[in-house]
Copies of this chain bind each other. A is one copy, B any other.
Amino acid sequence: MDQQEKTIEDMGEFGFIRSIMNNCLHSPEDVIQGIGDDCAVMGPLDGKVLLFTTDLLIEDRHFLKEKSSPFELGWKAIAVSLSDIAAMGGRARHAFVSLAIPSHTKIAFLNKLYEGMKSLCRRYGVNLLGGDTSSSPGGLFINVAAMGEMAEEEVLYRKGASPGDLIYVTGSLGGSAAGLKLLKGELSCREEIGKVLLALHNHPEPRLKPGRLIAESRAASAMIDVSDGLLSDLGHICDASHAGARIFMELLPVSGELTTLCRGRSLDPRDLSLHGGEDYELLFTVPPKNRQLIEETMEFSQACPFTRVGEMTKEKGVRVVTKDGAEEEERASRGFDHFLSGDG
Contact = CB atoms under 8 A, between A and B. Distances in A.
A26 to B, nearest CB: 5
A93 interface: yes
Contacts of A94: 31, 40, 42, 52
A309 interface: no
A20 B3 CA distance: 46
Given A13-B133, A35-B130, A139-B138, A23 B118 contact: yes
Given A94-B42, A147-B52, A6 B129 contact: no
B108 A58 contact: no
B129 A58 contact: no
A54 B135 contact: no
Nearest to A5: B106
Interface string A3-46: 11111111101001101100111111011001100011010011
Contact of A58 (B34, B40, B105, B137): B137
A137 B139 contact: yes
B42 A45 contact: no
A136 interface: yes
A329 B150 CA distance: 51
A42 B129 contact: yes
A54 B344 contact: no
A100 interface: yes
A278 B341 CA distance: 38
Contacts of A130: 34-35, 39-40, 52-54
A297 to B, nearest CB: 25
A339 interface: yes
A133 B46 contact: no
The complex is assembled from copies of this chain, and their number is 2
Interface string A55-74: 11011111000000000000
Nearest to A53: B130
A331 interface: no
Interface string A95-127: 010101101111110110010001001101111
A9 B114 CA distance: 17
Given A45-B46, A134-B62, A143-B143, A128 B54 contact: no
A136 B139 CA distance: 10
A305 interface: no
B25 A127 contact: yes
B8 A105 contact: yes
Interface string A123-160: 01111111111111111010101010000000000000
Q: Which of A24, A59, A118 has the most CB of B within 10 A?
A: A24
A338 interface: yes
A65 to B, nearest CB: 12
A8 B110 contact: yes
Given A94-B42, A96-B54, A9 B104 contact: yes
11 contacts: A10-B107, A17-B133, A24-B127, A35-B131, A40-B129, A52-B129, A56-B134, A56-B143, A58-B141, A59-B137, A103-B339
In the A-B complex, the 10 residue pairs with the smallest Cβ-Cβ separation, listed nearest first, are A138-B138, A45-B45, A27-B125, A40-B129, A24-B128, A143-B143, A145-B145, A6-B107, A9-B103, A134-B338
